[in-house]
Structure 1
Amino acid sequence: MNLSLSLLSLAVLASLSAIPVAHADAPADAGTLDTVRVEAERARKNTSRNQNVTVLSAADLDAEMANNMEEAIRYIPGVSVVDMGRFGDNGFNIRGLESDRVAITVDGLSLGESVETARSYEFFRGGRGDVDIDTLKSLQVIKGADSITAGSGALGGAVVFTTKDPADYLKPAGNDTHVGMKFGYSGSNDETMGTLTFANRTGIAESMLVYTRRDGHESESWYDTTVDRIGVGRRTPDPVDSTRDNLLGKLDLQLDERNTLGFMVERGRARNEVDNLSRVYSPGYLERRGDDRNDRDRYGVRWQYRAQNALFDSMEAQLDHQVTESRGLTTILAGSGCPGRTVPCLRSENRSTEQTLDRAALDFSKVLDNAGTRHDIVYGLAWQTRDVDFTAVDTRWTAAGDIATVDQDPRQVPKTDARNWNLYLRDSVTLMDERLVLSGGARYDRYDYSPTVDATFVDPTGSVRDLQFSAPSWQLGAEFRFLPDHAVWAQVGRGFRAPSVADLYSPTGSTVAFDAITGAQVQFDTSSSNPELDAEKSLNVELGYRWSTDRGQLGFSLFRDRYSNFIETVTTAQAYANGYRTTATAPIQYSYNATMPMNAGKVTVKGAELEGRWQFSDAWSSRIAAAYSEGEKANGDPLESIVPASVVVGLRYAPSPVWNVTANLTHAWGKDADDAYTTLANGTRETPDWVGKADGYTVLDLVGSWNVTEQLRVSAGVYNLTDREYYLWQRVRGVFEGTNTLYGYVNEQGIGRYSEPGRNARVTVAYSF
């Protein structure tokens, strides 16, 4: 399905044509949208029944002045963003699981899969897609399995984005118009931003346009050296020029009392131009630059039908088309290895991936209320297809500037069509005058993968083929309010992650050798795909307690998550009885190493989480949130991706609706070498090179806002107020120590560029009418 860009034109025309006749005080009538009911029905479908969910509203994100995902979740312990170095962020880490093992959806549609080449060289890593903060109505962080809400990837949790609707800016009923402007500056990356919002309701039509522009630079380290060295010892991050544009448009038409038809379009463009000074050394790299882009286009049509019949109260049909394209163009001025042996010369590595997702979904909701028992039922089905394509082009120039060679490199993954369909049902039952709530749900998914083997993806092993598999998942939960202010709850859930295209079809290879006895040629597969892979699965068990009054809330939970069928690339030594020679005269060998993705054992993660809020007086309030996790692999090794324990304490003073100020203190414990190592085949322990840098920290942030008038709001914040030097484990654990001859490595001085920003300020100004 391909939805035309004329949808955007339709939204623009509907918005602009409504301006002359819009009246903020127009009375409600049968011809206007019943937005309260429409929004309630949409929320019922998207809300998780998981007991451990943190929801950040648009107001929360504005109050924190969050400009990106890392800033949005900074005060949620146990949750972090996966760092991709030069290529930005690539999803979330929840309870130690990260990247594709944490599902991310936008309005029910999943983002792209990860695709990357060798990490240390950073020629390419395809992100999962950008979502702009200013388009979000809410951000749900779900801890624990909930594949019923988020689908594949929700092993240890999920992040569910819901974008804004026209009704979020308009009065509940009647004709109305909203115009908003927001401008901001962030000192940590010298970013300026501006958001323009227009929303209108005229008669049966609600429309909205939200456009955001961001211009910035690299995120600073704690070191502020103005003239820094090049190579592995560089302490400040490489210079980056960053631009981001995002446009979200929606149009909802209330056709009659029962039918609402909606259209949407979203267009995101992100570009980073990098001067890779940390990768420069003579004579190899005299200059190295990157031009990285991440584009996402999404179009959708939604029909909502409110029938109030025996089968459903409301039905929502949705069609979506999404294209995510990532490109990494690396240009190098080389001082060696040039065509014709005359230096210097230019060469480029151009890597790109495109993922096209089409989805059709039907969702139903039904409420049954009889004799004190209430059932809140949702069920539905969906079908989608994802096309994944990868290209790699290497170009070499002579010293005179003429093109010497243009090579089409083998694809990182083959061109693949991945089709999926699923069914789900979930019910929440309220009993005993709402003192007892039981919930349960189940989902079934079927996946079919069809790769293309051709001249650009050669498979000498013959292991790449069509694959099919299915994956059931489920969730059960109960909450019992044993006293008016006290409740206990429990939940158990099965999550899953379907193997990605990169898991199933990474590049394969073989080598030819000679039988040591017969002299006959033999072929050994050095790397191959694994058609026997199973979906990764999780079994999440969690117990909790809640205390809640008008003036305070406190929650505590214990969890144990067990993961099976973990997919890892494993290298094994394959025996060859006769022995073989790599050449006719080479020494005899009796085994060869082969790599293959495999379901390699189990992982267990357990921990505890705490969250509380108190309203001491009309002016003073506070909050606390803490998380602790530990993980262990089947062989007893720790799960290195576990983020160290942390706690956030906040104190807020709001003497009036006009102004407020909040202090947030974050303390994180350090990462021990005993909690981050891999046991090698010879029994020795290998630890990450910079585990000692993640030694814990305490950071104080101070933010506040002032409502100058009803239309004008000013917010400001100072972050890392005490100017503390500190490092995040999730950033430094993948960094290696080395010399200039090892691209991408750092020395004792160079690790400084991975430190977090020192004291920095942020300010935003918002005006609406």
Structure 2
Amino acid sequence: MNQSKQNNKSKKSKQVLKLSALSLGLLNITQVALANTTADKAEATDKTNLVVVLDETVVTAKKNARKANEVTGLGKVVKTAETINKEQVLNIRDLTRYDPGIAVVEQGRGASSGYSIRGMDKNRVAVLVDGINQAQHYALQGPVAGKNYAAGGAINEIEYENVRSIEISKGANSSEHGSGALSGSVAFVTKTADDIIKDDKDWGVQTKTAYASKNNAWVNSVAAAGKAGSFSGLVIYTDRRGQEYKAHDDAYQGSQSFDRAVATTDPNNRTFLMANECANGNYEACAAGGQTKLQAKPTNVRDKVNVKDYTGPNRLIPNPLTQDSKSLLLRPGYQLNDKHYVGGVYEITKQNYAMQDKTVPAYLTVHDIEKSRLTNLAQTNGYYQGNNLGERIRDAIGPNSGYGINYAHGVFYDEKHQKDRLGLEYVYDSKGENKWFDDVRVSYDKQDITLRSQLTNTHCSTYPHIDKNCTPDVNKPFSVKEVDNNAYKEQHNLIKAVFNKKLALGSTHHHINLQVGYDKFNSSLSREDYRLATHQSYQKLDYTPPSNPLPDKFKPILGSNNKPICLDAYGYGHDHPQACNANNSTYQNFAIKQGIEQYNQTNTDKIDYQAIIGQYDKQNPNSTLKPFEKIKQSLGKETYDKIDELGFKAYKDLRSQWADWTNKNSQQNANKGTDNIYQPNQATVVKDDKCKYSETNSYADCSTTRHISGDNYFIALKDNMTINKYIDLGLGARYDRIKHKSDVPLVDNSASNQLSWNFGVVVKPTNWLDIAYRSSQGFRMPSFSEMYGERFGVTIGKGTQHGCKGLWYICQQTVHQTKLKPEKSFNQEIGATLYNHLGSLEISYFKNRYTDLIVGKSEEIRTLTQGADAGKQRGKGDLGFHNGQDADLTGINILGRLDLNAVNSRIPYGLYSTLAYNKVDVKGKTLNPTLAGTNMLFDAIQPSRYVVGLGYDAPSQKWGANAMFTHSDAKNPSEIVADKNLGNGNIQTKQATKAKSTPWRTLDLSGYVNIKDNFTLRAGVYNVFDTYYTTWESLRQTAEGAVNQHTGLSQDKHYGRYAAPGRNYQLALEMKF
């Protein structure tokens, strides 16, 4: 081997080398290494096909995969199935961990919402499988949930065991993938039978079992393929199970304390009895038997629990999550002859995520009760709830509903995703015998994706037990369950034909690719939103204890309810006789008699009540006047007023005596519990449909399914050409005609024609330098959720309305009054690649321009023309989505690979190092001055990061190892600060989150061992030094631009629940036969 190496050195200036058989094996090992992520970065430097001569055998190395679709390879990352295995990729977050500038968008509830590339994310980065668009990110309003709505904006994730290769494109890429490739794309290609069958065999079986400690995840996958005559087939089944990503071990130490409200009794409070608990209505016996109860009141108690069980805003560790995935892929095929092949594909993938949100307290505090609009517990008048005393608080729904404070509050999020794909394909291989094309692939694919999201709020299990499946019933007064359920469905029917032709024209060589296609798509959103609650009401019984008869002297001033006459609506006595005279004739008769009696005691001119009445009746035999009216007419006004005043004073004195007697008697009864006797009415379970569009719902109607459909015709032509040995040139263009239509009121039926192009050139002035330039365009049509818009309630007569009823009913209002335009992007990159036998180094600079970006929660500005504020600016009120943001980003990207043995022959052959670096800077951002809204917040930009690798692949191909060191800068604070135009001439500074990112660094070690020919054991130790750090991607969940923003964190230290796992391990066993 040493002799062979010396021979290599002596001939390193030649492209034709004579090597031993062992050296050829080493070359193959290098090619395998170049297939992994870090090798893909180095492959950017392959200049030409390398021809190796072994005796009389000529072997041609594979052409650079990064340049297969675009001649410059700038911004491209290509991964293969071998890459995925070698990097131990078990989920979407593992896929790009060593690729700076590409990040996963956390959905915030266990799932993901796509990728972020060059400052844009979610629907602005296209995700495709075999050319089929995957589901859009769709988030919406929800009445029950408020800001924590159920439709959580997740997308379906891809099953990596089904994947043959992945091409990630950084930069505008619509000439390849159409709408959505605004800042880049992630394109997956699924496996075929040939990927499983080894060498010249007729069958192949591969299995994989893997475990990751960071989220207790298991992966079990089996793939089998075979050929029998002209028939071939592939089946892959994969099962995944896991939990939440664990925080650093330090976060789980210790305990946490909190205050919790409980219902307590006070001997000084009044007592009461429940009528239904007293046999035969013998309340006195119940009281004597000790069945009286003390009225309850809320009191805080101090609880302490371990960190894992704590619920509340100070939670230190992630929310508990369970997740699982099952996927089945089938690819049958039939080879008609050596040129014609027909085949099919069927895939069904199901993914489930179930999270409990433990940042929401499972309890109430006295402060919660007092600060809320809910009725204070003290106003429940001692209502008796089962074995508890008045243990509930009321809400605004009504006097008979509310939340029992002894019920635990649980918040649960469930995501259920399902993808069904059925496809047919026809492949023609001309074998070089057709002058028009070398190969053709015609395919039809029908893809259905359903994303179900559910939010469940429970108040129906006794604290501290939190039961997701509990249900309110009549035996649990004031128990509540709220459910917000959404199902988003997206269907694509794609017909596509792809033609390839390689030809030579003069001294130039061309690879021409033509694609034509038609995609008919449909989207729908159905919603179910309801509140289930047990209502309970009570009736206070009128009861006078038999042992305390009412004195007769009070009867003249008492009404039928045994309370004094002449009381106001609140039960208080009037202070003026005029009010009593106007309200009660019984009082007036009493007062006149008492007034005359008092008058006669102090005046010599005595008045005879009976004599005056008799004289009046004699003179007016047909009179219908009441006695006090006869007295009033017989006496003069002055005398009558004196009598009236004296009578009112006598009434007040007697009323005061009655009050003293009543209070004394009530206190005696209170000690027995007989002053407050309550009879519970029949409890009822009431279902309140929150989706029913009514006067109490400030959101748009969600009782009907939202449908938006459309189609996309496209044609794309690409020519990658070699002009001569110094210049490679790539030209590409794609035309899309996209139409949308909907029967949903206020959704625009729009059509758009879009032309996107790509231009790339590589100049090779020397055999050690390539200079490349690429420019490309991107666009994105408005998403389905943006086309529907946010809708808010308005009173009748305002806004653009649909379905108004009555004078005070809430009506729908569309928030975008004009058609939304497609977003646009323009990407430019220039790069230089240096390479020789030692390795390669690629440095590139890019500039991205984004225009007409759609911004939410914005409104057009108008100038007032009338009134005192004439000339001032105000928002029009069309709050929602508008095209209004522009942005300019620049950055650099560095990729490098070094063959350490070539540097020094004493270093073992197979040892290499890699380098990757990415940095993005914001050069400018603007908001349309006619809009009130916020200019761009760039929380989607990944902080600058570099990854340095040291790897070794043994020449024997038996084993290998890799060390990856990652350093990340802190998030640039200026990227998460923006100016908000308030629409009234004022500007407000806005910060996306208070969370502060810090630099971090970590080291990962991994390795593999090939056991014989059929087994590979892989292992990895990640975060070797157990470093405590937090990635921006995780911390970003607290930012305003997050899919489901995490709010309510009470202190900075509680961002610890976003900390990355400490030292963790992965292990995988692969078998290939």
Same fold, judged at TM 0.5 (above):
yes
Q: Which amino acid aligns with 1:709?
A: K
Name the counterpart of 1:206: 232
Cα offsets for 1:415-440 (capped at 9, x unmatched):
1112111111111111223x311110
1:747 positional shift = 2.4
CA contact (8 A) 1:413 1:506 kept: no
Q: In structure 2, do the counterparts of structure 1 residues 509 and 691 end up closer, same or farther at CA, with 3 Å as the change threshold? A: closer
Name the counterpart of 1:753: 1057
CA contact (8 A) 1:258 1:305 kept: yes
- SS for the counterpart of 2:841 is strand
Q: Which amino acid aligns with 1:239?
A: P
Q: Which of 737, 761, 768 is matched with 1:446 structurally?
A: 737
Structure 2 residue 669 is the aligned partner of structure 1 residue 641: no
Structure 2 counterparts to residues 188-587 of structure 1, below 5 A:
188-222=214-248, 223-225=251-253, 227-283=308-364, 286-307=409-430, 308-334=433-459, 342-399=477-534, 402=685, 404-408=687-691, 410-411=701-702, 414-433=706-725, 435-453=726-744, 459=745, 463-509=746-792, 511-512=794-795, 527-569=814-856, 570-572=858-860, 574=862
Alpha-carbon distance in structure 2 between the residues aligned to 1:764 and 1:506: 46
Q: Which of 615, 620, 630 is matched with 2:911 structurally?
A: 620
- What RMSD over aligned residues (CA atoms) do the two structures have, in Å? 3.0
Alpha-carbon distance in structure 1 between the residues aligned to 2:409 and 2:817: 41
Alpha-carbon distance in structure 1 between the residues aligned to 2:516 and 2:789: 31
- SS for the counterpart of 2:795 is strand
Alpha-carbon distance in structure 1 between the residues aligned to 2:888 and 2:423: 39
Alpha-carbon distance in structure 2 between the residues aligned to 1:719 and 1:564: 40
CA contact (8 A) 2:308 2:317 kept: no
Q: In structure 2, do the counterparts of structure 1 residues 523 and 237 end up closer, same or farther at CA, with 3 Å as the change threshold? A: closer
Structure 2 residue 184 is the aligned partner of structure 1 residue 144: no
Structure 2 residue 888 is the aligned partner of structure 1 residue 604: yes
CA contact (8 A) 1:45 1:363 kept: no
Name the counterpart of 2:293: none
Alpha-carbon distance in structure 2 between the residues aligned to 1:46 and 1:109: 20
1:370 positional shift = 3.9
Give the greater-gyration-radius structure (CA).
Answer: 2
Q: In structure 2, do the counterparts of structure 1 residues 420 and 707 end up closer, same or farther at CA, with 3 Å as the change threshold? A: same
Structure 2 residue 967 is the aligned partner of structure 1 residue 667: yes
- SS for the counterpart of 1:66 is coil
Alpha-carbon distance in structure 2 between the residues aligned to 1:668 and 1:361: 42
Q: Which amino acid aligns with 1:316?
A: R
- SS for the counterpart of 2:879 is strand
Alpha-carbon distance in structure 1 between the residues aligned to 2:771 and 2:66: 23
Name the counterpart of 2:920: 629
Please, what TM-score do these two structures have when normalized by structure 1?
0.86
1:503 positional shift = 1.7
1:561 positional shift = 0.7
Alpha-carbon distance in structure 2 between the residues aligned to 1:429 and 1:65: 36
Cα offsets for 1:245-278 (capped at 9, x unmatched):
0111112221112111111111100111222222
CA contact (8 A) 1:48 1:149 kept: no
Q: In structure 2, do the counterparts of structure 1 residues 219 and 197 end up closer, same or farther at CA, with 3 Å as the change threshold? A: same
Q: In structure 2, do the counterparts of structure 1 residues 210 and 637 end up closer, same or farther at CA, with 3 Å as the change threshold? A: closer
CA contact (8 A) 1:101 1:153 kept: yes
1:524 positional shift = 10
- SS for the counterpart of 1:70 is helix
> Higher mean Cα deviation, 252-261 or 544-553?
544-553
Cα offsets for 1:176-216 (capped at 9, x unmatched):
21112111110110011101110112222221111110111
1:575 positional shift = 5.7
Q: In structure 2, do the counterparts of structure 1 residues 332 and 524 end up closer, same or farther at CA, with 3 Å as the change threshold? A: closer
Alpha-carbon distance in structure 2 between the residues aligned to 1:359 and 1:166: 23
Cα offsets for 1:640-689 (capped at 9, x unmatched):
32111000000013334111111100001001322320112333422233
Name the counterpart of 1:112: 135
Alpha-carbon distance in structure 2 between the residues aligned to 1:191 and 1:608: 36
Alpha-carbon distance in structure 1 between the residues aligned to 2:874 and 2:165: 59
Alpha-carbon distance in structure 1 between the residues aligned to 2:810 and 2:313: 40
Structure 2 residue 468 is the aligned partner of structure 1 residue 184: no
- SS for the counterpart of 2:114 is strand
1:92 positional shift = 0.6
1:608 positional shift = 0.3
- SS for the counterpart of 1:634 is strand
Cα offsets for 1:667-712 (capped at 9, x unmatched):
01001322320112333422233341x2110011111111122111
Q: Which amino acid aligns with 1:595?
A: L
Alpha-carbon distance in structure 2 between the residues aligned to 1:269 and 1:768: 26
Name the counterpart of 2:375: none
Q: In structure 2, do the counterparts of structure 1 residues 485 and 120 end up closer, same or farther at CA, with 3 Å as the change threshold? A: farther
Structure 2 counterparts to residues 71-90 of structure 1, below 5 A:
71-90=94-113
More helix by share: 2
Q: Which amino acid aligns with 1:752?
A: G
5+ long unaligned stretches in structure 1: 1-39, 454-458, 581-588
Q: Which amino acid aligns with 1:95?
A: R
Name the counterpart of 1:10: none
Please, what TM-score do these two structures have when normalized by structure 2?
0.62
Q: Which amino acid aligns with 2:218?
A: T
Alpha-carbon distance in structure 1 between the residues aligned to 2:992 and 2:866: 39
CA contact (8 A) 1:530 1:597 kept: no
1:744 positional shift = 4.5
Q: Which amino acid aligns with 2:1036?
A: R
1:364 positional shift = 0.8
Cα offsets for 1:688-740 (capped at 9, x unmatched):
33341x21100111111111221111111111111222222233234169xxx
- SS for the counterpart of 2:948 is strand
1:401 positional shift = 8.3
Q: Which amino acid aligns with 2:859?
A: T
Name the counterpart of 1:60: 83
- SS for the counterpart of 2:86 is helix
Q: In structure 2, do the counterparts of structure 1 residues 155 and 413 end up closer, same or farther at CA, with 3 Å as the change threshold? A: farther
1:578 positional shift = 5.9
Structure 2 residue 1036 is the aligned partner of structure 1 residue 733: yes
Q: Which of 151, 159, 164 is matched with 2:186 structurally?
A: 159
Cα offsets for 1:61-98 (capped at 9, x unmatched):
10111111110110000110011010511111111111
Q: Which amino acid aligns with 2:75?
A: N
Alpha-carbon distance in structure 2 between the residues aligned to 1:135 and 1:282: 45
Alpha-carbon distance in structure 2 between the residues aligned to 1:370 and 1:143: 32
Q: Which amino acid aligns with 1:571?
A: E
Q: In structure 2, do the counterparts of structure 1 residues 608 and 554 end up closer, same or farther at CA, with 3 Å as the change threshold? A: same
- SS for the counterpart of 1:566 is strand
Alpha-carbon distance in structure 1 between the residues aligned to 2:892 and 2:174: 22
- SS for the counterpart of 1:752 is helix
Name the counterpart of 1:169: 196
Alpha-carbon distance in structure 2 between the residues aligned to 1:530 and 1:723: 54
Q: State percent identity of aligned pairs.
A: 24
Q: Which amino acid aligns with 2:912?
A: S
CA contact (8 A) 1:728 1:755 kept: yes
1:396 positional shift = 2.3
Alpha-carbon distance in structure 2 between the residues aligned to 1:685 and 1:714: 54
More strand by share: 1
CA contact (8 A) 1:141 1:157 kept: yes
1:372 positional shift = 2.9
CA contact (8 A) 2:1037 2:1046 kept: no
Q: In structure 2, do the counterparts of structure 1 residues 709 and 689 end up closer, same or farther at CA, with 3 Å as the change threshold? A: same
CA contact (8 A) 2:196 2:206 kept: no
